[in-house]
Structure 1
Amino acid sequence: MATVKLLGISGSLRKDATNSMLLREAARLFGDCTYTQADINWPLYDGDDEAASGVPAAVEAVAKQIADADAVLISTPEYNKGPSGALKNALDWISRASVKPWGGKPVAVMSAAAGRAGGERAQMVLRGFMVPFRPRILQGPEIHLAGSSNAFDDNGQLTGEMYIKDLTALMEELRAEIAR
């Protein structure tokens, strides 16, 4: 079998975002794969802008990355009990791209947040946002990384045994879903 291609989409635009760190850890625990993280730092979706200028090339590029990936990993922070605006904006833009990449795509969803619930509500809302696209979203194990700023060592690796065990299990489920 060829090397699996994973694409990560972080709902945080911050340079040292724990959601981006969590995605990299997921790819590491997945094992043999190539991992790329999408850049979703795009202008806000505006139908008038789309009508005047079309879908931005950066959006089309990420839609193609999704289509070309064997699976997608999405990690979201929680802002005001929901996913980040950047992630919702990305999903809105991708829905307008010429490539419709999500149908049947294996997707693993996770969240990292400062609070003690680890972004659980944001993840639940994100799963609802994905319904129209009809991907194959894994149901678990659920990864809600609480107190995320203290969850990684200096090398960016997870430190909590429970999180490592659950993230490894989620990646095993993803590998099985890809093989279907």
Structure 2
Amino acid sequence: MDKRTIAVFVGSLRKDSYNRQLARALERLAEDRLRFDYVDIGRLPFYNQDLDGDYPPGGVALKRQVRGADAVLFVTPEYNRSVPGVLKNAIDLASRPYGDSAFAGLPAAVIGASPGAIGTALAQQHLRNILSYLDMAVMPQPEAYIQFEDGLVDADGRVTRQDTREFLEDFVDRFVNWISLQRG
């Protein structure tokens, strides 16, 4: 079976972000089954409804990238108890104008990392509400709020804690199955 292509949205722009490290760890765990296609959300223009009739090239390219994927993975930090503005902007660009959403019908999974004890629970709940409205089939379980600590993921993308690695392996397995259920 060919590898499924996953459009990966990392909600942090920080070079060494915990969520980018988490995404790379997931990529490593899934490398025999999934191909990760990272979406560069840091260079996108701001969504502006005035441009719906003449969509900006960055928005067009973003939609093309999402439409070329079999599923979408959102890896988000939590800023002020919600999703980062840069991630929300990318979602708005790919889903607008109304009736031309690149996300409609795609399977998705949500995960996030934070040094805090509750991880990214509130941001993920907000994100799930948005994705549901956009007609995405969001994997319901497992919910994955990773409490990140330095050294959890090494420079090669390997998870250093066995219990976390096993949890993430299960997350990847279930995401692969979820995609198969949704896409056939």
Q: TM-score, normalising length from structure 2?
A: 0.87
User: SS of the counterpart of 1:36?
Assistant: strand
Q: Distance in 2 between matches of 1:145 and 1:114?
A: 8
TM superposition shift of 1:126? 0.7
CA deviation after TM superposition for structure 1 residue 46, in Å: 2.7
Q: Contact conserved, 2:120 with 2:145, CA < 8 A, in 1? A: yes
Note the C-alpha offset of 1:99. 5.0
2:179 counterpart residue number: 178
Normalised TM-score (structure 1): 0.88
- Superposed, 1:40-119 pairs within 5 Å as 40-41=41-42, 42-48=44-50, 50=51, 54-96=54-96, 100-119=101-120
Cα-to-partner distance string for 1:88-128 (whole Å, 9 max, x where unaligned): 11111111268532222111100111212111111111101
- For residue 140 of structure 1, give the secondary structure of its aligned residue in structure 2: coil
Q: CA deviation at 1:73?
A: 0.9
User: How far apart, in 2, do the equivalents of 1:56 and 1:138 lie?
Assistant: 31
Give the 3-state SS of the residue equivalent to 2:28 in structure 1: helix
Q: Which amino acid counterpart does residue 22 of structure 2 have in structure 1?
A: L
**Helix, strand or coil: the match of 1:2?**
coil
| AA aligned opposite 2:49 | G
Deviation at 1:150, TM superposition (A): 4.3
Q: After the TM superposition, which of the residue ranges 95-104 and 121-130 deviates more from structure 2? A: 95-104
Distance 1:163 1:142 in 2: 13
8 Å CA contact 1:8, 1:38 repeated in 2: yes
Which residue of structure 1 lines up, in the alignment, with residue 23 of structure 2?
Answer: 23
Residues 157-166 or 69-78, more deviating: 157-166
Ranges in structure 1 where 5+ consecutive residues have no aligned partner: none
Q: Relative to structure 1, is the Cα distance of residues 150 and 122 closer, same or farther in structure 2, using a 3 angstrom cutoff? A: farther
* TM-superposition CA deviations, 1:109-158 (whole Å, max 9, x none): 00111212111111111101112211111112122111344422233322
Distance verdict in 2 for CA 1:131–1:29, change over 3 Å: same
Q: Tell me if 1:156 matches 2:157.
A: yes
**Number of paired residues?**
178
Amino acid at match of 2:74: I
Distance 2:81 2:150 in 1: 18
Q: What is residue 35 of structure 1 aligned with on the other side? A: 36
